[in-house]
Amino acid sequence: MGDIDPSFIQSTEHRPNLSTFIQVDEIPIIDFSESKQENLISKIGKACEEWGFFQVINHGVPSEVSTKVEIEAKKFFDQSLEEKKKVKRDEANAMGYHDAEHTKNIRDWKEVFDYLVENTTQVPSSHEPHDLELRTLTNQWPQYPPHFRETMQEYAREVEKLAYKLLELISLSLGLTGDKYHDCFKNQLSMVRLNHYPPCPSPDLALGVGRHKDSSALTVLAQDDIGGLQVKRKSVGDWIPVKPTPGAFIINVGDIVQVWSNDKYESVEHRVVVNTEKERFSIPFFFFPGHHVMVKPAEELVNEQNPAKYKPYNVGKFYANRNRSDFNKREVENIQIHHFKILD
Ligand code: OGA
Ligand code: NI
């Protein structure tokens, strides 16, 4: 066992069990070339309810676009730390390169590059409810590799189309109109993250990403063939690995769909296990509404028997709260959707 910095070490209960992988059930794979829309809707609804996770194939994102992104991402991360830090994320700029991400105050064994789908996006300047000032988030682009920016932007546009399609199908599966949430994504805060997980000398002590839920509406994730993503199975609470499927995207329900659906679809915990030998790449697209949106359970789904389980919350203020610099490394929990739960 190699030595790693103590900031990476998970407490005993959160360490992965690397020896006993009994693969019983699998995350559903849904084929988008399915001719009958009703079948697609019912499969997606079932997967969202039972797992909160599924994979899609024949999704329409051209494989050349995905391949190019993987090549450019690898070229970017292969550079020296000094080069990568030229586009590093800091207090003023939330986008760019970062190698010290923490999940629940434990450092993740990875480095990332983040960019917004809209090149500039507005968010509230502060988490204070009465402060109406906005600030602009802007992307930072590296000089090298030379076609990085175009490649990343082309990828984002392609995955965005898939995200809108999924949003429509998920809305229909809830009995809502297909375009119910379409306009919420004007001035979207959607973001793409390039994740690089280097080999780790102590994969039994550290995690690539600690257990968490995504605060997006939904996430569209591309992963390479190494594997490592695990999903907490809702029924049993054990960790199920998501087997890499060539060309597939992994879709998961985020916190916002959980609230919109009034808990019918839950945002499920997941984490990433690393290994001693192989580096791994993954690329999540976090589909986020614009800052002005108030998130609350769909009116069509609530009534006297099934009252709203959440108070409305503002996307921008939630974002500003998550990004409070005074939260870094503090022994307090980040803002979470359960803070808006109406207790009965
Ligand atoms: C994330 C995430 C999974 C992966 O970045 O939120 O869950 O497989 N990533 O990298
Ligand atoms: Ni995640």
Give me ligand 2 centre to Cα 197, in Å.
Answer: 14
Confidence (pLDDT) at 37: 93
- Residue 269 Cβ inside 6 Å of ligand 1? The answer reads no
Q: Per-residue pLDDT tens for 135-188? A: 999 999 999 999 999 999 999 999 999 999 999 999 999 999 999 999 999 999
Using alpha carbons only, give the angle 252, 255, 256 rounded to the nearest 5 degrees. 105
Pocket test for ligand 1, best of 270, 271, 322 (most atoms within 8 A of CB): 270
Atom of ligand 1 nearest to the CA of 284: 5
Give me ligand 2 centre to Cα 304, in Å.
Answer: 34
Pocket test for ligand 1, best of 219, 220, 226, 279 (most atoms within 8 A of CB): 219
- Residue 223 Cβ inside 6 Å of ligand 1? The answer reads yes
Give me ligand 1 centre to Cα 194, in Å.
Answer: 9
Stretch 235-263: mean pLDDT, rounded? 94
Query: Which tokens go with 113?
Result: 């590059």
Is 90 exceeded by the pLDDT of residue 278?
A: yes
Is 80 exceeded by the pLDDT of residue 96?
A: yes
| Mean residue pLDDT across the chain | 92
114 residue type, one letter: D
- Residue 218 Cβ inside 6 Å of ligand 1? The answer reads no
User: How many C-beta neighbours within 10 Å does residue 165 have?
Assistant: 16
Confidence (pLDDT) at 343: 78
In the chain, the DSSP E strands lie at 29-31, 53-57, 96-98, 102-103, 106-107, 111-116, 120-124, 134-138, 191-197, 209-212, 218-223, 229-232, 239-241, 249-253, 270-272, 280-287, 294-295, 313-314
Which residues, including other chains, have CB under 8 Å from residue 97's CB and lie 6 or more apart? 84, 85, 87, 88, 89, 111, 112, 113, 142
Confidence (pLDDT) at 39: 95
Is 80 exceeded by the pLDDT of residue 25?
A: no
- Residue 193 Cβ inside 6 Å of ligand 1? The answer reads yes
Helix (H) or strand (E) holding 164: helix 148-173
Atom 6 of ligand 1 has which residue's CA nearest to it?
214
Which percentage of the chain shows pLDDT scores above 70?
95
pLDDT band for 264, please (50, 70, 90 cuts): very high
Query: Strand, coil or helix: what is 318?
Result: helix
Confidence (pLDDT) at 237: 85
Q: Per-residue pLDDT tens for 60-93? A: 999 999 999 999 999 999 999 999 999 999 877 8
- Residue 222 Cβ inside 6 Å of ligand 1? The answer reads no
Report the range of poorest mean pLDDT among 11-20, 207-216, 273-282. 11-20
Confidence (pLDDT) at 329: 53
Pocket test for ligand 1, best of 110, 211, 221 (most atoms within 8 A of CB): 221
- Residue 114 Cβ inside 6 Å of ligand 1? The answer reads no
The separation between CA 97 and the C-alpha centre of its own chain, rounded to angstroms, equals 17
Stretch 296-305: mean pLDDT, rounded? 97
Which residues share a beta bridge with 230?
Answer: 241, 271
